Structure 1
Amino acid sequence: MPQQVRGVVSLKKGDPVSVETIVIPDPGPGEAVVAVQACGVCHTDLHYREGGINDEFPFLLGHEAAGIVEAVGEGVTDVAPGDFVILNWRAVCGNCRACRRGEPWYCFTTHNAAQKMTLTSGQELSAALGIGAFVEKTLVHAGQCTKVNPAAKPEVAGLLGCGVMAGIGAAINTGKVGRGDSIAVIGCGGVGNAAIAGARLAGASTIIAVDIDDTKLAWAKDFGATHTVNSRHGDPVEQVRELTGGFGTDVVVEAVGRPETYRQAFFMRDLAGTVVLVGVPTPQMTVELPLLEIFGRGGALKSSWYGDCLPSRDFPMLIDLHLQGRLPLEKFVTEKIGLDDVEKAFHRMEGGEVLRSVVIL
């Protein structure tokens, strides 16, 4: 029978979120109901509340989550009730042109649950990133459930569902950072610091954190930055070059998503270096670069979608590395909160006071 649970909803563009009663249907074919144990407060959820993603209100917010599978629908074989899972928003289809050419991390037709969760009035909810996890239980496509080692704490495991995976993947999967490489990371919030942690994990020898906030730069050193640059105090491009023998870094990860920081990233890299854009720009933003410089510098200008991750491959591996003490996911958790505290957490996030607030259910 359908269940009624509490969840955080954005009813109208720009309005504070509210905790509402949510109706969760029984799972249909290919679907699963997951009892959410923890969910990180990600900037994407704030974008939904502000109408920056689309206008399909009301939204059931939350997507960076881990929990226990409670029930599955017909035909589900990869997960079963009782499994500890991280929720992902890239449930690969296996049939699109990206999947057929052997690049499922680019899947262009990812799966979501066919049924909708609703308010008690019957009004359908749009689940953030097809998940909707600021809620006691959620309905997702079974392919959105990635089984991992249950020894990991839910509040750290769930962070791999979005921001931390995006940053680690931007460095390792998209930027191809390897042993002895140099990397600069512009923007040292949750995603940027995850890129720093990923670069350290991959064996980079020079890891330069760039930000305008000394607090965030201190966080970056804790995650493995070997050098820091406060771009309020001089040209960050020149400062990064001074730290790399005048050349620039092999890879630059831009985790802000603004034209001015993207230009900095472009000129901050060495010849034949790689720029990775993982910060999300707004629709009206544009960037202008000298075409001769694009040709003359060579290398690659890349965008990183979800860290170019394959959840079934990357989530279990990263959880294992965390349990071995090699990936300090616990350092991303600034505070643990309840469902009623999400609006306050948005304000703390906007003020740069936290890396991650995590809702505990």
Structure 2
Amino acid sequence: MRAVISLVCAAALYLTPSLAEDGIRKIGLSKVADRDFVEKKLKASDGDVLRESLRHHFEISTGQEPGNIIVKDYQNAQYYGTITLGGNQNFDVIFDTGSSNLWVASYKCWFSCGLHHRYNSKKSHTFVANNTDFNIQYGSGPVSGYFSTDDLDLGGLTVEGQTFAEVTDASGLGLAFMIGKFDGILGMGFDSISVANTPTPFQQLMAQGRLNSGMFAFYLGGADGKDGELVLGGTDPKHYTGDIVWVDLVSETYWTVGLDGVTLDGATYHASETAKAKAAIIDSGTSLLAGPTAEVAAMAQQVGAIKLPINNEYVIPCGMPLPTLTFTIDGKDYPLNGDEYVINAGNGICLLAIMGIDVPAGPMWILGDTFMRKYYSVFDMENKRMGFARST
């Protein structure tokens, strides 16, 4: 798995920087309503057949035609905000802990880049040519272009001489990118998974002494409309309760921690007994929980959900009682209540926020928005660890 695997997205957020305090930069996150965010989704195939299947299986009567079940294809992601390249060119990018390169659409990109903002080196006085080929493989397909270097403004902090990619062919991302609201991706993983070992913007901020500490933290606004926050260089105590529990990383690639077990209403799920399988990636670029296909299918059967015809996703009636789902990380339990691992898709149908996916690296779990919404997540690059606390 080279980069982010972005799933059905429940929390698109716009980012607005605030002033630095004590060497910490805070970026506000405003949550887009779920119904607004799912407006441009790919529709499930054979929607009429699926609708009748759902009604038959769950004996649902909505009193009106619900239309096709609308699901978002997994290439789209959820954290995006404005950055500036070359002092005067703005781009909305995904802040993604599951990848490690910065790229934006290039002015040389045609149809596959849709109507996105495009970087034009001729408009920058700080541009430095590189021209090394850039090729990256996402879960949805390849993206390619070439590297360039320019100054980057990130939340009011300037990174001098940031190497990034100008994408000239984004066809591998399909409609998700063409009609999406993001112009590129800003990876926040480690250099070890970066194409050409290009330093990430956050690592450049550290190296250039722009930050108070080598950590950043995500607080996700909840369904009640609370604003969220991304902090660069520290944490924000008002967004979590109790102490932060620190966990050492098991590798310096993705943000990977040890996963002792997964339980659902007394049933235990383990990918295998291998060390690699006892791991979970904490990924801001993944909206749901993702686990091995066979395990997720068993979980769905256990709670009575049924499979959609695409993407190994499942639906269930909203309001149906669901058991507690618990992830045990480094000996500590992190439970999710039933209403915390479903997403309301409208018309009485909820999407089960657990998706089956088998990654090339081997069976493992990916804990995305569904997990991070409940647990304030701190990414400490300096000390190679992660911290978790209960979000307020």
TM-score of the alignment, normalized to the shorter chain, above 0.5: no
- Higher helix fraction (1 or 2): 1
- Higher strand fraction (1 or 2): 2
Range into which the TM-score falls when normalised by the shorter chain: under 0.3
Q: TM-score, normalised by structure 1?
A: 0.26
